[in-house]
Amino acid sequence: MTFEKARDAYYARGWVTIPLTLDHEGRPKKPIDLKWPETPHEAAAVQALSWGAARGIGVVLGPASGNLAAIDVDDVEFGTTISQAVIEKHLPAYLVRTIRQRLHVYVHEQQPSASTTREVTWRGRSFKVELKARGTQVAAPPTPGYTLILDNPPPLVSSIAAAWEDIARAFGILGQHKEIANFPKPWKPEVKEGERDKASYIEAHRLREAGIPLDQAREIMRLRAEAYYQKDGLQVGEILRTVESAYRKGMPLEKGKWYGGISVPLDP
């Protein structure tokens, strides 16, 4: 299936999609269009994106796609165990295997949540589970490396956090995780004075994780600060220094390790 046909099929489900290109690791996970978080639920707007250059397709989570959200299980064995249990018990679920052979579990929330990250302990090892919701996107089939495992309508849940707790309870690890950081949600239409530092930090991380070069991230954040950050006492230079700090702390030392540790919810 071409990305254009997939785009239209996803739209028929009620999901907004965006074209992706390769990130700094060569994986098709990076949004091409810098203003992708603003993509509305309109067929013409979705079709007008840069599909001719697409190397993958991303599903926009949150209100644009009917409060769609995805539990991103960052462990191959645990993800496989979850998918096998769902299939064996004939549970309604929409499951996708990722390019790193991990798992996305899709749900629909009653109300959109902010994205958060858990550090989970299972069978003696720790890994991340990202609860991806409003303000994020996930690469999806037919992006190379992404495979649809189970194609049932995503269940309606009170929240993605509640859905994760149900999974954790089923596998006996409820309470054996901790939430990583408590930052404001990114891309708010108005960022108040007391939130500016943390908001700019997490938004910079989102740009970094999407593979946006530092010089472009600085320009994006400068424009965003001027348009959406509360003006009282605003110093754009401080915002730009925060962006640089986020990029320094996010630079990989080696695969799986980062300067400063994982200190904010990861996403895109």
Q: Which two tokens stand for residue 27?
A: 């994986």
pTM (predicted TM-score) = 0.68
End-to-end CA separation in angstroms for the chain:
24
pLDDT in tens, 14-73: 999 999 999 878 899 999 988 888 899 999 999 999 999 999 999 999 999 999 999 999
Let me know if domain 3-179 sits in CATH 3.30.2250: yes
Ranges 22-26, 43-47, 77-81, 244-248: which has the least confidence:
244-248
- 200-210 in b/e form (b: 16+ CB < 10 A) is bbbbbbbbbbb
Query: What is the spatial distance between Cα 82 and Cα 253, in angstroms, rounded to a whole number?
Result: 31
Q: In this model, does residue 180 exceed pLDDT 90?
A: no
Indicate where the chain has its CATH 3.30.2250 domain(s): 3-179
* Percent of the chain clearing pLDDT 70 (strictly above): 89
Query: What is the spatial distance between Cα 18 and Cα 11, in angstroms, rounded to a whole number?
Result: 11
